[in-house]
Amino acid sequence: MSVEAPLGYKIQTVETLPHYLISKLPPALNLGGAPETWEVKEVGDGNLNLVFIVSGSMKTIVVKQAVPYVRAAGESWPLPLTRAFFEFNGLVEERRYAGDTVPEAYFYDEQMALFAMEYITPHVILRKELIAGKKFPKLAKHIGEFLAQTLFNTSDLGLESAQKKELVQRFCVNTDLCRITEDLIFTEPFFDAPRNNWTSPQLDDAIKALWSDQEVIQVAMKYKLKFMSEAQALLHGDLHSGSIMVTEDETKVIDPEFGFYGPMAFDIGNYIGNLFFAFYAQPGHRASAGEVEDYQSWLLEQIVETWGVFEQTFRTLWTNKQKGEAYPRSIYQDGINGDAFLKAAQDDFFRTLFIDTLVNAGLEMHRRIIGFAGVADFKEIEDADLRASLETRALKLARQLMVAPESFSGFADVNAYAKQC
């Protein structure tokens, strides 16, 4: 099966891109100099798209173009070009609420399945920095606020019903990328799927045991249905440490091509699951036990602080909201039942969200260790026996998060269990 490209679609190269851009760039976006003098580099190292850095004498931009297949797999895995539309619009909507935590998007060309966006420098991909053992004092605050602002303001808590439904309509047709998520996270890790890829033979017995673990599989299927049917908020859809760029002072969230309307806990759980990857992988990257312990402690603090910032910011947005059909202000803030009535509603909401977040973190951890798309945190550990032993610890936590999330009262409890593993 092949993907039909729009008439006039052409895969860009470092040679053709400047001449294409000169007729497409908005007048205010002046790179400086003639197109033939621009420096163009193709730097895409992800699974899906071409990514170019284009530098003139005055300004540098990033240009991303979708190709009609999964780049990591080649033409044997076709994929519609419309994902560029969802990434562009995802950036626009996230930036509306999360501000400079999201790069600016400049223009979108449907025919070329291409868009241009802000060049982010000197930021580095967070996953690389976690592997290197670097700490970022503002990371938890920035990600907690990003999650709260984007999830609250695109939900029925913060939007009028008509606005929310318009956004759902715009993003609900991102079906092909949602199908990738449905397959790779919720389905394939739990049976002998051809695309699965784990540390073998060290993990063979553990993986086969998982495929007959009915308790885990039932939870995975329950949450697959929630993912497919709960249009709760506009999600990033692929929020992990490879979709975040950092400096000491700034954090940028990128790559929302999987954006869609789904359950809030999916984004939160994915991010937290990836922090647990970094936690368990540390013995494969640090030189001493003291360095491992120090950095693992920082990572666990990140998890607690991120959730704390998220919850506090979300509660404040909810308490001060002026619109939103869910939990209407006329009954709660302006009603006769008092502040405790609203707090009780919020407490119930966050308890459910916490439990769902743990399950989604467990799902993300299973799929990255077993499934098609692994993570560099583990893959860069050359000693396969060591890698497998660390992955085994992560899988132990992942299972507990899925089958017994109610046993944890907060992330301090989760972190204590994670250390026991």
Q: How far apart are CA 250 and CA 272, in angstroms?
A: 19
Indicate which CATH number applies to the domain containing 74: 3.30.200.20
Residue 4 belongs to a domain: no
Query: In this structure, are 33 and 63 located in the same domain?
Result: yes
Q: How far apart are CA 207 and CA 393, in angstroms?
A: 13
Residue 202 belongs to a domain: yes
Q: How far apart are CA 190 and CA 216, in angstroms?
A: 9
Q: How far apart are CA 369 and CA 367, in angstroms?
A: 6
Query: In this structure, are 23 and 96 located in the same domain?
Result: yes
Residue 157 belongs to a domain: yes
Query: In this structure, are 112 and 220 located in the same domain?
Result: no
**Residue where one domain finishes, among candidates 103, 118, 133:** 118
Query: In this structure, are 250 and 388 located in the same domain?
Result: yes
Query: In this structure, are 112 and 132 located in the same domain?
Result: no
**Residue where one domain finishes, among candidates 96, 118, 140:** 118
Q: Which pTM does this prediction carry?
A: 0.95
Which residues constitute the domain of residue 108? 17-118
Query: In this structure, are 304 and 379 located in the same domain?
Result: yes
Q: What is the DSSP string of 249-293?
A: S-EEE---TT-EEE-HHHHHHHHHHHHHHHHHHGGGT-SSHHHHH
Query: In this structure, are 222 and 158 located in the same domain?
Result: yes
pLDDT by 10s per residue, the chain, length 421: 456 788 889 999 999 999 999 989 998 899 999 999 999 999 976 667 899 999 999 999 999 999 998 776 777 788 889 999 999 999 999 999 999 999 999 999 999 999 999 999 999 999 999 999 999 999 999 999 999 999 999 999 999 999 999 999 999 999 999 999 999 999 999 999 999 999 999 999 999 999 999 999 999 999 999 999 999 999 999 999 999 999 999 999 999 999 999 999 999 999 999 999 999 999 999 999 999 999 999 999 999 999 999 999 999 999 999 999 999 999 999 989 989 999 999 999 999 999 999 999 999 999 999 999 999 999 999 999 999 999 999 999 999 999 999 999 999 999 999 999 9
Query: In this structure, are 108 and 173 located in the same domain?
Result: no
Query: In this structure, are 215 and 330 located in the same domain?
Result: yes
**Residue where one domain finishes, among candidates 85, 118, 151:** 118
Domain total of the chain: 2
Residue 5 belongs to a domain: no
